[in-house]
Amino acid sequence: MSLFITFEGGEGCGKTFQSRILFNKLFDTGISAELTFEPGGTALGDKLRDLLKDKRKGDISPEAELFLFASCRVQLVADVILPGLRKGKVMICDRFTDSTLAYQGYGRGIDFSTIETINRLVTRGIKPDITILLDVLPEEGLKRKHRKTNDRFEMEELDFHNRVREGYLALASNEPERWLIINGSLSKAKISETIWDQVSTRLS
């Protein structure tokens, strides 16, 4: 059966690690799955990722940022996510539309209706079946990113990251049937166990 799973959370929450763990478990179980990520996952997306993430590339206005992410997403949906779902795969994506609402909406202050309209257009209306939010305090998440970085988002002020976290929690509270909120401060093993329990139940 096809299933669309997304991982969300602030900087340093551990979602990239946990999405890979889930993919490996599915693979070991013999379930057809594919792991991708935003921004990136396609030739176009990888080029735009460099522009979006690297502070050394210069400043980007919030609106330009929004449309660059949308460009990445429309290509990823067309080239990777939709084809995978049509083949009956479990598709796992590290970030998706909720990241845009959290970062560009709650974080940057762009109008939510504008973001939602763009999201509907570029995703062709598809939504995740399960969204896993690894929730950590921004201070803790940023501390995990201990090495020197030029990542535009990691370099934002703490207030920005607090708004992003509040945004994620608000989004999750509006659709509790879709979201799984996990304390990102738990051990990696406990987090992966909780995720697997939920996903395997849906698959069965």
User: What residue numbers bound the domain in which 99 lies?
Assistant: 3-203
Burial of 59 (C-beta count, 10 Å sphere; 0-12/13-18/19+): exposed
Give the integer Cα–Cα distance in Å for 95 and 53.
14
Tens digits of residue pLDDT in 102-125: 999 999 999 999 999 999 999 998
Residue numbers in the chain where pLDDT is lower than 70? 1, 146-148
The pLDDT assigned to 144 comes to 87
The pLDDT assigned to 147 comes to 58
Number of independent structural domains in the chain? 1
User: What's the predicted TM-score (pTM) here?
Assistant: 0.94
The pLDDT assigned to 150 comes to 76
The pLDDT assigned to 114 comes to 97
CATH number assigned to the domain comprising residue 12? 3.40.50.300
